[in-house]
Amino acid sequence: MSKLLLIALLATGFTCATLSAQELPLIHQPTITPQDSGTTNGLIAVWPVNPQVVWACGRSGTFTVTTDGGETWNASVVPGAEALEFRDVQGFSASVAYLMSISLSGVPTEFRIYKTTDGGVTWTIQFQNETVGAFYDGFAFWTPHRGIAHSDSVNGVFPDLRTTDGMTWQDISSNMPPALPGEFSFASSGTCVTTQGGRNAWIATGGAAIARVLATTDQGTTWNAYSTPLFSGPSGGAFTVDFRDPHHGIVGGGDLDPGNPNSAGTAISSDGGMTWTLTNPPPVTGAIFGLSYVGQTGHGGGNNLGRAVVITANDGGAAWTPDEGTTWFTLPDVTGFWAVAFASPKAGWLVNGTDGRILKISF
């Protein structure tokens, strides 16, 4: 199955109880509050800078931003990007943010990285792809000036990028491990790449016979590739990854093939991604598009919900776990959402991939 066909497919209670009777009364479902995103265009990625400032992006060149915790959202379209889809966003303040676009037409130059320093009034194209066959799925940053961007493999090589000044992007393909035949990533939520601390990053992959996690501990200068036990194949693999500290992380994925609806899975690592163990099956169907620790995005736990994770599986529903996948709770009536991210346990957001809905989620 081709990558463009996969992208086209993307466009279209309580379970596993293992907590004791004494612990169950302490578990409370989070509060879900619908908000008005200011657009009906599908939203694909979300990034809370803090509980007040949040950026989201999606179809038809759309982005939206709030500076009051979602009480009001201001949506707009990046000039010249009306025909593009933004599949990832990362903000650093109410003024500074990055966007990544993909191409549904196959035109290489429609894969771009934009940056604003004036709250979205104007945008500058920092990178415009020229490599035939490259398909950039997501990016992640350590600081406003240091980050990486990840592409599907081309002729066995990942043409990944790195910025060290927040302005220019350099090719680091020679730093990357060799790709497996057919290996790629999924641009389903902007979370196939994640960073932690000042130097660590992880990339989730699929498409090949093995779903892998690529890991760096030196800001992308050197990488290692590690196998996961998640389903993998031409239409599936690891979609999304997050770490709460340098050692403890979770990866989620599944299969886009509707004939394999029970493929959703998550696996956890306690050694920085070198080894992975399947959790109990999450109560969703299809592929897990996005997940996030309930602690601050990109920084893991640091609170009494440090092991709590929220996942979303588009039409397959959404769920959360207080203990990294041993116990699962469904999020009732939450379906069609592609991405989830948190600024704090009381300030998280889910975005809908088809109609621009935004939900605030608070634990």
Domain ranges, ordered by start, for the chain: 3-58+137-362
Report whether 266 contacts 33 (CB < 8 A): no
For residue 221, name the pLDDT band (cuts at 50, 70, 90): very high
Query: What is the structure's pLDDT at 26?
Result: 53
Query: What is the structure's pLDDT at 2?
Result: 54
pLDDT at 24 over 70: no
Query: What is the structure's pLDDT at 304?
Result: 59
pLDDT at 1 over 60: no
Q: What is the pLDDT of residues 114-125, one digit of tens each?
A: 999 999 999 999
Query: What is the structure's pLDDT at 296?
Result: 62
Task: Find, among 338, 353, 49, 42, the residue nearest to 191 by Cα.
Answer: 338
Query: How far is Cα 50 from Cα 48, in angstroms, rounded to an integer?
Result: 5
For residue 16, name the pLDDT band (cuts at 50, 70, 90): very low
Report whether 63 contacts 79 (CB < 8 A): no
Q: What is the pLDDT of residues 236-279, one digit of tens each?
A: 999 999 999 999 999 999 999 999 999 999 999 999 999 999 99
Look up residue 160 and give its amino acid: D
For residue 13, name the pLDDT band (cuts at 50, 70, 90): very low
pLDDT at 22 over 90: no
% pLDDT > 70, the chain: 90
Token pair listed for 54:
């949040």
For residue 49, name the pLDDT band (cuts at 50, 70, 90): very high
Query: What is the structure's pLDDT at 129?
Result: 97
Q: How many CA atoms lie within 13 A of 10 on its CB side?
A: 32
Angle 92-45-334 (CA atoms, 0-180°, nearest 5)? 125
Average confidence score pLDDT of the chain: 92
Task: Find, among 195, 176, 180, the residue nearest to 228 by Cα.
Answer: 180
pLDDT at 148 over 90: yes
Token pair listed for 247:
């050692």
How large is the average pLDDT for residues 302-321? 87
Query: What is the structure's pLDDT at 305?
Result: 76
pLDDT at 18 over 90: no
Q: Tell me the CATH number for domain 3-58+137-362.
A: 2.120.10
Give the global pTM. Answer: 0.93
pLDDT at 23 over 50: no
DSSP code for 4: H
